[in-house]
Every structure is written in C-alpha cells, then in structure tokens.
Amino acid sequence: MAGGKIVIFSAPSGAGKTTIVHEMLKIKEFNLAFSISATSRKPRPGEKNGVDYYFISAQEFKQKIENNEFIEWVEVYKDQFYGTLRSEVERLFAMGKNVVFDVDVVGGLNIKKAYPDRALAIFIKPPSIEELKRRLLKRGTETEESLKKRLERAKYEMSLADRFDVVIVNDNLQKAIEETRGVLAAFLLD
C-alpha cells in the first residue's frame, strides 16, 4: 500500500522547522499528512484546535499519559506537555498517508526508535544561537522568561544533532527548503 513512511522534523524552537514543514506539505506527490500533536500550552493567535495541535488541559494530558495513549510525550516546561497520540498516527496510516512529525529533539529520536525501519529523522539547525534568538524575537511569541528557557534548551538540543539521519542548516530559507525537498524526494519516491 502507498504511504506508511514517517518523516520526523526536529529542531530547537525557532530554527524554522514549522515553516519548512508547511512547504513540504504543499508538495502533493509526497502524499504527506501532518501528525497533529496534543499539547497543554495555550493556542497562539491564529492557531486552531485540531489543525495545529489538539489543545487540551494539563489535567487531561496527564489522564491520557495514564491511559497509555501516547507514543511519546514530553513536559518541556512545567505543566507544558506535548505528545504524539497513537490514535493520530493510526488515523493517518489508515488513510494511506506518509506521516510528518514536527516534534522536539528528544521526541524525534524517540519516534525514530519506535519506527526504525520506516522513519527518516531530519534535524533543522539554525546557523547560530544568536540567530535563533533573533528569529524568536521577530516571531514575537515569547515572553522574556520563555525566550530564556527556549534558548537554554536549544544549546542542549544542538548537541544531539548528529544522532539524526540528516542535518539541514536553515540559514537561507529558500535553500533549506530546496535541500529538504531533495532529501524527501529520495526517501519517499524511490
């Protein structure tokens, strides 16, 4: 059956992976569908429940952990959970899709471990931590506190890059998109 492959995108927050993933989803021949994660963080302006994330409370999230409903989950910051629901991945495979994940670095490595034979794990690397900070400031989604936390975590996440199958440096966005397109074509269209 067509579909059934997994492409994982991981990066420190602000590296540009959401931007790149959106571009890949537009390429029809890749037959990709986005795995919608569950999270207990609040939606940003413009984000929709059931599109960007399944937005649920921290309490509901903890209940689902107890029920073993997640393939993997993380508590990135206190009471701010993110996780991949088994039901979501099954839903997309049943539709004959290749599934694309936009998850944090540790989550990406865990998903790769869960599906070693059919997953490609891609690390999107910012040119530097200073540039990452500039992008997060420009995106305008962070408080001073959350910016500090994301940058601290980014340093650790950058150290895990070499565990991924492919590393793409997102300096020039258009170049990074083209490189990613080439990598996905080789993996999905063979």
Helices (H), the chain: 17-25, 58-66, 86-94, 105-114, 129-139, 144-158, 173-188
Contact status: 181 vs ligand ADP (CB under 6 A): no
**40, 53 contact by CB (below 8 A):** no
Which residues inside 48-77 make contact with ligand ADP, applying CB under 6 A? none
Cβ nearer to ligand ADP, comparing 64 with 123: 123
Q: How far apart are CA 175 and CA 190, in angstroms?
A: 23
Q: Crossing angle for the helix pair 144-158 and 129-139, nearest 10 degrees? A: 140
Q: How far apart are CA 26 and CA 11, in angstroms?
A: 20
Contact status: 88 vs ligand 5GP (CB under 6 A): no
Which of 30, 37, 121, 125 binds ligand 5GP (CB under 6 A)? It is 37
CB of 1 to ligand ADP, least distance (A): 30
Which of 8, 16, 72, 92 binds ligand 5GP (CB under 6 A)? It is 72
Contact status: 169 vs ligand 5GP (CB under 6 A): no
Quote the tokens at residue 141. 């989604």
Q: What are phi and psi of 167, to 5 degrees?
A: -120, 125
Contact status: 31 vs ligand ADP (CB under 6 A): no
Interaction pattern, residues 138-177, with ligand ADP; x per rule: CB under 6 A: xx------------------------------x-xx----
Q: How many CA atoms within 13 Å lie on the side-chain side of 154?
A: 23
Residues making contact with ligand 5GP (CB under 6 A)? 13, 37, 41, 72, 74, 76, 82-84, 102-104, 107
Binding site for ligand ADP (CB under 6 A): 11, 13-19, 135, 138-139, 170, 172-173
